[in-house]
Structure 1
Amino acid sequence: MILNRKFILKGALNEQFALDLSYSESPEQKGIIIFCHGFKGFKDWGCWSMIADYFVKNGFAFLKFNFSHNGMGLEDSVEFTDLDKFAKNTLGKEMEDIKSVEQFIVNELPEFLSKINTKKIFIIGHSKGGVSALLYCTQYETKIEKVCTWASPFDFHRSWNSKFIDSWRAEGVQYIKNARTNQMMPLHIEVLEDIETNKEKYSLLNWSKKLQIPYLIVQGTNDEAVKMEEFNLLKKHFTKAKNHIIPEANHVFGASHPCTATELPEHSEELVRVTKEFFLS
C-alpha cells in the first residue's frame, strides 16, 4: 500500500513551503528520494505523483516539495497564487530549501516514520531543479549519496541575453510568460543583482570538479527548453558522471499537465527505470 503524508517546512528567509511524502511500510526499504521541480514548476505538476508511486513500488520513499519562492501557496494547488515570492526566487534560496528538506529527513523523519530508510538519501532535479541540486551537492555538507538530473541545463541563466538584462535593469522588473496559465510571471531586479553578486557561486563550471558523489545525467533529444548542447556541457565538465539519452524525448519526457493518463508515458517509463537502476547500483 502506498501511503502519503503532508508537511509544512520553513526554508529560505524563514518562508514556509509545502512538502509531501509517499512511502510504504514494506520491510524492504531502499532509501528516500528528494525531488526538486523546475522553473515555473511545482510538486503536483503532471505525472510527478505517478512517478512518486513508481519509486515507492520499487522500495523507495519519495519526497517532493514546492520551493519556498516558487509562487505556490501552502495548499495543494496547481495555480501560482504568490507571484511576489516567485519574483524574488534565486538559486541560493532553492539551495537553502533543499537544506531544510535534508535536515527534516535526517533529524525529524526517523522519530515518527522509523520504517523509512533515511540513512540512504538520493536527489533528483528536473530542469532548473537539477542546477539547484548540483550546486547544493557541491557546496553544502550533505548526506546525499547520489544525484540525478532530468533535462537540466548547464547554465540556467544562459538565455538571459544583454537585451533582456538591459530592459530588466531599466524597468526594474522582467516578465516570463507561463504558457500553461498565460500568467506573466515577474522577476524583480533583486534577482538580477543576486545573479551578478553570486556569479561564481552559481557556476556549475566552477563547481563541477567538487562533486564527490555519483551523478547520472538524463536528457531527451527533442527537448525544446534544454538543448543537447547543455547536456554535452554537463557531460564535459562532470567527467565522472554517467549519462543516458532518451531518443525523441521532450523536456518533460512525454508527460503533460493536467495528467489524465493511468500509466506513465513511454519516455517517462524509461526515465524512471534508468534512474531507479542508477540509485540501486
Structure 2
Amino acid sequence: MVQNKQFVLQGASDEEFLVDISYSNGLNSKGVIIFCHGFKGFKDWGCWQLIADYFVENGFSFLKFNFSHNGMGVAQSDDFTHLDKFAVNTLGKEMEDIQSVEHFLVNEISKVLPEVNTNKIFIIGHSKGGVSALLYCTQYQTKISKVVTWASPFDFHRNWSSKFIEKWKADGIQYIKNARTNQMMPLQLEILEDMETNKEKYDLRNCTKKLDIPYLIVQGTDDAAVKMEEFNLLKKHFTKAKTHIIEAANHVFGGSHPYQEKELTEHTKELVAVTKAFL
C-alpha cells in the first residue's frame, strides 16, 4: 500500500518549500526518486501523484517538491499566491533547492522514515526541471546515480527574444501568462541579470563532459512547448545518453490539471515504463 508523508524544508534564500514522499513499508528496495517539476509547475499538478504511486508499486520511493520560488507557499494548494517569489526564481535557486532535498534524503530521512532506501538516489526533471536537474548533477557534489529528463529544453531561455528582453530592461519587469489560472506571472529584472551573469554556467553545452552518470532523455513528438529540435540538441551534445521518443505525445504526455482519471494515459504509461526500465 502506498503511503505518503509531507515535510517542509528550507531552500534558496532561506525560503521554505513543501515536500512529500510516497513510499511503501515493504517495497522500497530499488531506491528513491527525486522529481523536479517544470516552469509554472508544482508537485501536485495533474497526474504526478499517480506517477508517484506507480513507482512505489514498482519498488521505489518517490519524492516530489515545490521549488521554493515556484510561486506557492507551504500550504497544500494549486494556487500561485506568492508571485513575488516566482518573480525572482532562477536556475541557481532551483539547484539550491535540489541540494536541500538531497541533503534531507542523505542525512535526515532515515530518522523519520527508515522505510525509504537512500542507498540509490535518482532524479527526474520535467521541462525546466530537467534543465535544473542536469545542471545540478554536473555542478554539485552529489550521490545521485542516474538522471532522467522528460520533455526538457536544451536551453530554457531560448524563447526570450531580443524584443522581449529589450522591453524587460526598459520596464524593469516582464510577464508570462499562465494559461491554467489566467494569471500574468511577473519576472523581475533579477532573473534576466542572473541569466546574463551565469550564461556560461547555465549553458548545457558546458555540462556534457561533466556528466558522469547514466542519462535518459524522453521526448514526445507533438510537444508544442519543447520542440523536437530541443531533444535533438540534447541528444547531439549528451552523446552517451539513452533516448526514447513517444510518438504523438504532448508536453505533459496526455496529462492535465486537474486529472480525475484513475489510470494514466497511454503516453504516460509508456513514459513511466521506459523510465522504470532505465532506473
User: Contact 1:209–1:237 (CA<8 Å) still a contact in 2?
Assistant: no
Equivalent-residue separation in structure 2 for 1:255 and 1:28 (angstroms): 26
Does 1:157 pair with 2:157?
yes
How far is the alpha carbon of 1:110 from its aligned partner? 1.2
Equivalent-residue separation in structure 1 for 2:63 and 2:27 (angstroms): 19
How far is the alpha carbon of 1:116 from its aligned partner? 1.6
Query: Partner of 1:72 in structure 2?
Result: 72
Query: Partner of 2:227 in structure 1?
Result: 227
Q: Deviations over 1:76-106 (max 9, x none)?
A: 1011000000000000000000000000000
Equivalent-residue separation in structure 1 for 2:115 and 2:64 (angstroms): 19
User: Contact 2:28–2:61 (CA<8 Å) still a contact in 1?
Assistant: no
Q: Which amino acid is 2:162 matched to? A: S
Query: Partner of 2:81 in structure 1?
Result: 81
Q: Deviations over 1:3-43 (max 9, x none)?
A: 10000000001100000000001155110000000000000
Does 1:148 pair with 2:148?
yes
Query: Partner of 1:29 in structure 2?
Result: 29
How far is the alpha carbon of 1:115 from its aligned partner? 2.3
Equivalent-residue separation in structure 2 for 1:158 and 1:165 (angstroms): 12
Query: Partner of 1:176 in structure 2?
Result: 176
Q: Which amino acid is 2:196 matched to? A: E
Cα distance change, pair 70–101 in 1 and its aligned pair in 2 (3 A): same
Q: Which amino acid is 2:187 matched to? A: L
Cα distance change, pair 69–27 in 1 and its aligned pair in 2 (3 A): closer
Runs of 5+ unmatched residues, structure 1: none
Q: TM-score, normalised by structure 1?
A: 0.98
Query: Partner of 1:205 in structure 2?
Result: 205
Cα distance change, pair 15–278 in 1 and its aligned pair in 2 (3 A): same
Query: Partner of 1:60 in structure 2?
Result: 60
Query: Partner of 1:189 in structure 2?
Result: 189
Q: Which amino acid is 2:57 matched to? A: K
3-state SS of the aligned residue for 2:248?
coil
Q: TM-score, normalised by structure 2?
A: 0.99
User: Contact 2:71–2:82 (CA<8 Å) still a contact in 1?
Assistant: yes
3-state SS of the aligned residue for 1:158?
helix
3-state SS of the aligned residue for 1:157?
helix
How far is the alpha carbon of 1:112 from its aligned partner? 2.0
Equivalent-residue separation in structure 2 for 1:236 and 1:87 (angstroms): 32
Equivalent-residue separation in structure 2 for 1:83 and 1:155 (angstroms): 23
Number of residue pairs aligned between Structure 1 and Structure 2: 279
Equivalent-residue separation in structure 1 for 2:34 and 2:141 (angstroms): 16
Q: Which amino acid is 1:150 matched to? A: W
Structure-to-structure mapping, 1:37-56, within 5 angstroms: 37-56=37-56
Equivalent-residue separation in structure 1 for 2:185 and 2:113 (angstroms): 38
Q: Which amino acid is 2:230 matched to? A: E
Q: Which amino acid is 1:155 matched to? A: D
Query: Partner of 1:96 in structure 2?
Result: 96
Q: Percent identity?
A: 73
After the TM superposition, list the runs of 4 or more consecutive aligned residues in structure 1 that deviate by more than 4 angstroms. Answer: none
